[in-house]
């Protein structure tokens, strides 16, 4: 349940529909499902197995694989901490928008309201701008929630996810029914699902599919290893992994219907074509959707509220699962108490996320998200496959998974981890690097990319070596 909670999040509700639409609509489902079954599920099984086998946090788990590999574990737990800094700020936006739904505060021009009035967006990332008070208040609320949920340890997580997994799903279903019964819904849906097969020849579409699967399944970020370490000895590993992956993909697919049905209604009621809308990640959830909400014939406030409550409850279990791996790591190596480790990380996290509460926040969010989600995750996924597949006897892990699982893994799984997945990931990385060098992301200048993209990825990599070198508690005695 907690793994599903971590996987299903904002990534399903705004990222998936938009990525799908941009990369060929219905045709994108082909690379998406190929990526899901050739890389997503096998890697999820791998991470669950490692966690269950090592019964410890990622740094210690990699240390068990080989002493010199501890840094890989630190690397995987530091990345989601950076993701958390901006993910929480998107949740802070949701928090404000939940309250704004009460009086449909965005008015007639939701775009103007979001970028100018709410974010106070500056013209470029260099111009920092002032702190936005409503966002800072939202950050405080969300970070406090994360602290309260985590500091008592894993039992409380179990109780929280029993609510935060089903509630947003029910809300999403209500919203989908509302969306599909609006005039124009079918236009939106056919826009979402009509395949454009010519896009399948484009390498970037495949890149987007693998990136989305990694981000959405929370892969290569320590969390699945950490959660699996809490499983009972007899738990079925492979089944759990398959269920988690299908639940995640199913929610994304459903969210596409929720969002696009409402967009269809928006265009029909305003009398223009869908292609005239600017559908972009943040815009979709904070501009297009609120505009459509205002036009609803009745109960606009109600549907607006439940949309943002759904986003918040979808997001919270992903957000705290980004902090859990690093606190587990600190607890494992330095025997720091869970409460202390959580407190320290939440305070650092809060200050780190303040940059995203400034007028330049959305620029930095965009740059850091792009580099962490495409390079960071794919790179770590690759390193995981190499270290676990080549530096350790992968068949031992397979036998470990098979001991408790109904679905038995064959040699094909070893082949995927050792050859097929690394091969695909290397190609993707090379293509992505070439593309980003020839065309800097978002047209930003090179030093902005260096600051927001290269330095976080490389910095975290170096920091993980430092953490490995510092002596742990039991080593020091
Ligand atoms: N999978 C989450 C979502 O779809 C987001 C996410 C990205 C995440 N990286 C993570 C969650 C790391 C937990 C840990 O919204």
The CATH number of residue 438's host domain is: 1.20.1740
Residue 140 has pLDDT above 60, yes or no: yes
161 within some domain: yes
pLDDT band at 252 (very low <50, low <70, confident <90, very high): very high
**Which is the closest atom of ligand 1 to the Cα of 217?**
1
Å from CA of 474 to ligand 1 middle? 32
200 within some domain: yes
Å from CA of 320 to ligand 1 middle? 10
Pocket test of ligand 1: the residue of 9, 219, 256 to mutate, having most ligand atoms within 8 Å of its CB, is: 9
Q: Tens of pLDDT along 365-418? A: 988 888 887 778 888 999 999 999 999 988 899 999 999 888 899 899 999 999
**Which is the closest atom of ligand 1 to the Cα of 248?**
4
**Which is the closest atom of ligand 1 to the Cα of 15?**
4
Q: Tens of pLDDT along 300-330? A: 999 999 999 999 999 999 999 999 999 999 9
**Which is the closest atom of ligand 1 to the Cα of 12?**
4
DSSP, res 124? S
Q: Write down the residue that tokens 């966002």 correspond to.
A: 135
Nearest CA owner, ligand 1 atom 9: 218
**Which is the closest atom of ligand 1 to the Cα of 315?**
15
Q: CA 454 to CA 444: how far, in whole Å? A: 13
303 within some domain: yes
Å from CA of 271 to ligand 1 middle? 37
Contacts 24+ apart (CB under 8 A), 377-380: 377/79, 377/211, 377/214, 377/215, 377/219, 377/220, 377/221, 378/210, 378/211, 378/214, 378/220, 378/425, 378/428, 378/429, 378/432, 379/429, 379/457, 380/72, 380/75, 380/76, 380/79, 380/220, 380/221
Residue 332: is it exposed, middle or buried by C-beta count within 10 angstroms (0-12/13-18/19+)? buried
**CA nearest neighbour of 287 among 141, 106, 162, 51:** 106
pLDDT band at 279 (very low <50, low <70, confident <90, very high): low
Q: What residue ranges line ligand 1, CB within 6 angstroms?
A: 6-7, 9-12, 80, 83, 215-216, 218, 221, 223, 318, 321-322
428 within some domain: yes
Nearest CA owner, ligand 1 atom 8: 218
Pocket test of ligand 1: the residue of 6, 252, 313, 345 to mutate, having most ligand atoms within 8 Å of its CB, is: 6
Å from CA of 217 to ligand 1 middle? 7
Pocket test of ligand 1: the residue of 218, 222, 254, 328 to mutate, having most ligand atoms within 8 Å of its CB, is: 218
pLDDT band at 191 (very low <50, low <70, confident <90, very high): confident
Pocket test of ligand 1: the residue of 215, 252, 321, 369 to mutate, having most ligand atoms within 8 Å of its CB, is: 215
Q: Which of 63-72, 95-104, 163-172, 367-376 has the lowest mean pLDDT?
A: 367-376
DSSP, res 272? -
Q: Which of 31-45, 54-68, 369-383 has the lowest mean pLDDT?
A: 369-383
Q: CA 392 to CA 27: how far, in whole Å? A: 38
Cβ-proximal residues to 302 (8 Å cutoff; 6+ apart), any chain: none
Å from CA of 104 to ligand 1 middle? 29
What is the overall mean pLDDT for the chain? Answer: 90
Three-class DSSP category at 28: helix
- How confident is the model at residue 477, as a pLDDT? 40
- How confident is the model at residue 281, as a pLDDT? 59
Residue 428 has pLDDT above 50, yes or no: yes
**CA nearest neighbour of 7 among 38, 50, 31, 43:** 43
Length of the chain: 477
Asked if residues 34 and 210 have their Cβ atoms less than 8 Å apart, the reply is no
6 within some domain: yes
113 within some domain: yes
pLDDT band at 152 (very low <50, low <70, confident <90, very high): confident
477 within some domain: no
> On the CB side of 417, how many CA atoms lie within 13 Å of its CA?
27
Domain containing residue 127: 2-472
Domain count, the chain: 1
């Amino acid at each position: 349940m907690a793994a599903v909670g971590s996987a299903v999040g904002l990534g399903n509700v705004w990222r998936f529909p938009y990525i799908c639409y941009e990369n060929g609509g219905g045709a994108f489902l082909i690379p998406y499902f190929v990526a899901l079954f050739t890389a997503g599920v096998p890697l999820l099984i791998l991470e669950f197995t490692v966690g269950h086998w090592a019964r410890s946090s990622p740094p210690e788990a990699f240390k068990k694989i080989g002493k010199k590999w501890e840094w890989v574990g630190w690397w995987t737990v530091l990345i989601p901490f950076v993701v958390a800094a901006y993910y929480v700020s998107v949740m802070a936006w949701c928090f404000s928008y939940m309250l704004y739904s009460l009086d449909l505060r965005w008015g007639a021009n939701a775009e103007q309201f979001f970028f100018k009035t709410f974010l106070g967006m500056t013209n470029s990332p260099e111009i920092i701008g002032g702190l936005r008070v409503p966002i800072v208040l939202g950050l405080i609320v969300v970070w406090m929630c994360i602290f309260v949920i985590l500091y008592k340890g894993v039992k409380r997580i179990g109780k929280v996810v029993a609510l935060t997994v089903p509630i947003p799903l029910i809300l999403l279903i209500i919203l989908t029914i509302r969306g599909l019964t609006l005039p124009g819904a079918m236009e939106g849906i056919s826009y979402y699902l009509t395949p454009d097969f010519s896009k399948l020849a484009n390498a970037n579409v495949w890149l987007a599919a693998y990136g989305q699967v990694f981000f959405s399944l929370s892969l290569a970020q320590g969390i699945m290893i950490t959660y699996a370490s809490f499983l009972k000895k007899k738990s079925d590993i492979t089944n759990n992994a398959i269920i988690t992956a299908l639940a995640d993909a199913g929610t994304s697919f459903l969210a596409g219907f929720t969002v696009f049905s409402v967009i269809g209604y928006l265009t029909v009621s305003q009398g223009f074509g869908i292609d005239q809308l600017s559908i972009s990640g943040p815009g979709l959830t904070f501009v297009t959707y609120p505009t459509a909400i205002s036009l609803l014939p009745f109960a606009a406030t109600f549907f607006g509220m439940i949309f943002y409550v759904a986003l918040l409850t979808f997001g919270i279990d992903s957000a705290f699962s980004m902090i859990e791996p690093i606190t587990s790591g600190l607890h494992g190596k330095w025997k720091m108490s869970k409460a202390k480790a959580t407190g320290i990380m939440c305070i650092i996290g809060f200050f780190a996320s303040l940059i995203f509460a400034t007028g330049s926040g959305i620029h930095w969010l965009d740059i850091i998200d792009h580099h962490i989600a495409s390079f960071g995750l794919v790179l770590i996924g690759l390193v995981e496959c190499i270290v676990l597949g080549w530096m350790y006897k992968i068949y031992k892990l397979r036998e470990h998974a098979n001991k408790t699982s109904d679905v038995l893994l064959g040699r094909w799984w070893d082949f995927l981890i050792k050859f097929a997945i690394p091969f695909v990931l290397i190609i993707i990385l090379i293509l992505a690097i070439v593309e980003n060098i020839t065309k800097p992301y978002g047209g930003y200048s090179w030093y902005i990319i260096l600051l927001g993209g290269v330095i976080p990825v490389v910095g975290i990599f170096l920091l993980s070596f430092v953490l490995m070198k510092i002596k742990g508690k039991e080593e020091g005695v």
